[in-house]
Every structure is written in structure tokens, then in C-alpha cells.
Amino acid sequence: MIRTRITGTGSALPDKVLTNSDLEKMVDTSDEWITTRTGIKERRIAAEGEYTSTFATRAAEKALEMAGVKAEELDLIIVGTVTPDFPFPSTACVIQSNLKAINAAAFDVSAACSGFIYGLSIADRFIRTGTAKKALVIGGEVLSRILDWTDRNTCLLFGDGAGAAVVEAQEGDCGVLSTHIRSDGSYWELLYQPVAAAEIPPHRKPSMKN
């Protein structure tokens, strides 16, 4: 039996730390209020010139190194994000270029907090059907760019960064047993982004950095 196994993982975060004490100076909140309700003490915030692809590429490089897989061996790159570098091309394509993963198909999945899980589910199906043998699944965001920093109900919850996993087809009983995804769109109004927010304005040439 062929199963999907996670063979390498990696993560990457911005250097800038935004603590609860910092947020106390920005909105009507306190460290005690945040900690007792969320358990969060600090979050990381991207600097100017850092994008979702910046952290996703770094996380991917670590995952590939752990797995002992070369970028050109990848058949597939899936990125779960709601803060892509551009509306198009996909952030997965930017990462593909950064890694020089010349043999991989690459696309993004927009599923917010569950983006990585959706991506893993898709990769699992590619592997189980024999369409792919090695895939890279990434979840990455720069949510600080779309937050309302005057809304204490949301701005304290989110930060920036990325996590990546290399998944491979392997024989045996170990690995992903099954995946089950579903949605309930009736609650869409509880949390949403009203407009698209591309980091690079139209007609401006990007300067992407890893």
C-alpha cells in the first residue's frame, strides 16, 4: 500500500517581535486580557520587503534539507495562503523559482487557517493516485498587512511566518491514513477580508528577496 508520509519539516519567522505589552500601547487591551483568553504572549511581524514567499522559501529549504530531497525532485508545490505576494502568479510559483524546483507543478490554495490542511489533503490525493511522488506543502501568511490594528478583537490574534512539509509516496502502513475536509459557508461573515490587498501595487516592478 502506498501512503503519504511527511519526511521533512521546516519553519521560518520574521525577526520583529510584537509583544502583548506593545499592543497595550496600540489598542485598549492588556497582557492579562490577551493571555487569559488566547494564551498568546507575542507574535512575529514581517518587515518592509518581506513577503509570504520570503518565509515560505526559507521554511521549504529547511524541510527539503531534513527530508534529503532536492528541489528538482519535487513533482508538486502547494501553498496555503490568503496573503499571496500577488493576485497572480501564485506564490507557489515564486517559491518554485526561488528553489529552482523546475519539475514541479505549483499552485496556491485559499482556505485561510485551514490552508495547510487543504494543501496536505490535495497532495495526499496526488500521491495516492500515483500522479506525484514527492510534494512540498506550505502554509504561509503575512497577515499583519491586512489587519485592522484598531480592532482588539482580531489584531492580537495573528502574526506572520510560514511552515513547510515535504511529503513522499512510501510503501507500508505508516503515513496519512485518510483526510476529511469540509466547509460551512454560512458563517462567512464572522471573519473576512473585504478587499484584495496585493503587496506590490500595479505597474511597480517587484524586487523579491528570500
Cell numbers representing residue 39 in the block: 494564551
Residue 101 domain-assigned (yes or no) = yes
Per-residue pLDDT tens for 4-56? Answer: 999 999 999 999 999 999 988 898 889 998 999 999 999 999 998 899 999 99
**pTM of the complete model:** 0.88
Residue 41 domain-assigned (yes or no) = no
Per-residue pLDDT tens for 114-132? Answer: 999 999 999 999 999 999 9
Residue 148 domain-assigned (yes or no) = yes
Residue 114 domain-assigned (yes or no) = yes
Q: CA 196, CA 150: separation in Å to the nearest integer?
A: 19
SS3 assignment, position 130: coil
CB-neighbour burial class of residue 139 (10 A; exposed 0-12, middle 13-18, buried 19+): buried
Per-residue pLDDT tens for 143-197? Answer: 998 888 888 888 888 999 999 999 999 888 888 888 889 998 898 888 877 765 5
Per-residue pLDDT tens for 43-89? Answer: 999 998 899 999 999 999 999 999 999 999 999 999 999 999 888 89
Dihedral pair phi/psi, residue 163, rounded to 5°? -135, 145
pLDDT at res. 87? 85
Cβ-based neighbours of 22, under 8 Å, separated by 6 or more: none
Residue 141 domain-assigned (yes or no) = yes
**3-state helix/strand/coil string of 44-73:** EECCCCCCHHHHHHHHHHHHHHHHCCCHHH
CATH number, domain containing residue 75: 3.40.47.10
Structural domain for 134, as ranges: 2-12+52-170
Domains: count for the chain: 1
SS3 assignment, position 87: coil
